[in-house]
Structure 1
Amino acid sequence: MFKGKKSLLVIALIAVLLVVVAGCASGGGNKATSESKKTQNGWEKIKEKGVLTVATSGTLYPTSFYAKGNPEITGYEVEVLKEATKRLGIKVKFEEMGFDGMLSAVNSGQVDAAANNIDTSDDRKEKFAFSDPYKYSFASMVVRKSDQSGIRSLEDLKGKKSAGAATTTYMKIAEKFGAESVVYDNVTNDQYLMDVANGRTDVILNDYYLQKMAIAAFPEIPVEINPGLYYNPSESGLIMKKDNTELKAKIDQEIKGMKKDGTLKKLSEQFFGGADISKKADIKITQVVKVD
């Protein structure tokens, strides 16, 4: 009888040891899976697929647009990323969407990154990673040519109708000075400009170089950039998930190389009418406005 109890005790101990060992193995497996998942969500996953997926609008001339008669998307940022990914030995795929959905698409993993003249800001840098800047600029206003829409300063925005996407820094500035927001969902530049000209809206706050090129593309629309009213210097880069540090390092490496060998300057001059936006402009800034 004693022997029988001893045998049962031995069997029970073996069973407990097996459970402990299995638990350890399971825990180790979960850790390995977690590490693998973390890696697969970043650069290694992109490298394995051979494709970097980037959100962009396809309607923002001259940084992301369709040239007449050409079925392929092009533009300054588009071509910068095509060249950068080519140097990394992968391809780039562009997912077109409105600006308001781009950052959430990056955050959810729907896309790897976003490029659409997205300015760096303290708020965005807390939530996302930015590549080294490949574009430097400053803000300006498009107004009616006949009367400058009655705007001579940022303070004159009060009561005016300001056109743009809902969550941009420019719209936040307009709202801060008391403008009424008129929100558009991924429409082309000519629609924005025509609405200012015909009085549906009064002003467009945006990047100087983008506005300069848009106006040049539609000379028949009676609008202009408000002369001398330049504010908020800015810089733009590719925006990614905060923890995607290896992808950022890879993109930064190629941007540095493209600056050094003149590729950024060449692409800038090609799309921005001879202007070199890969370096800071020597321009008088009249005001700097902080927004949340």
Structure 2
Amino acid sequence: MAVAAVCLALTGPSTPSGALVSEPLPLPVGAAQDIVPNRVMTWNICNPCGSAQNLGRAADIATYAPQVIGLQEACVRDVEEIRAYLKTFYGLTYHVEYGSVLRNWGRCGGLPWRAGGYGQAILSAAPLADPVTVEYPDGGSEDRGYLAVTTTVGDRPVRVFNTHLAQRQQESFRERQVAVFAKAVARHEHTIVLGDFNAVPDAPELAPMWSLAKDASPECHPAPGAACETTTDWHSKFDYIFLRGFAPRDHGVHPSEYSDHHSFRADLEPVQGR
């Protein structure tokens, strides 16, 4: 990996956007050395925030190197660039599936008749199978939906979901979206749900999710006074890792200068007997 970095410093890497980047951003002390088994992450990477953020986003992901990552507000072009940086600079190779629900020049650039795909993405160190993208019947002010795949976490096959619900002031839309989403999640006993739900834990529209699963932050629940760590720059918890058939061993919320959301990661273990 070090030799590759030296070569790239001399020639510049080839990225999907065509930008030349001479060297990676350094990782902090204590950063992961390789993919961490049983670690998952959810992160709304912010859009439109510009592709210039992608090198920093890759460094933030490499710092924790989760086995599975769910990204929201993800442009296909941005994710391809992030994956290239992760592999080239940090030696981390991820498979990917996209759950684009919108093609929009303003969101993701490209020619007006070839606008970039925008929505969800799931990255996994293990191969991905049986991808399903569902667009909610009514996304509110912008198309929204979810992506589901089957992959491996630790050594267990698992169905992973990634969603982004309607914007903050659109509770009625989120209520209808959760009704659709919860039915899909409930079909799977071993399930990891990642996403930006745009709602605080005690929001009524999240009740169907809490009835199915627990958040990877054990102290966070919808009861008044619960200790839920905030995941956004405006000090709200909007980002969740809901678990069925898994329990958290450790978790963390990590602010980033490259997004208005913090990444939320959890180290998991299977629930015995399930």
| TM-score, scaled to structure 2 | 0.30
* Structure with greater helix percent: 1
Of structures 1 and 2, the one scoring higher in RCO (CA 8 A, sep 6+) is: 1
| TM-score, scaled to structure 1 | 0.29
Which structure has the bigger radius of gyration? 1
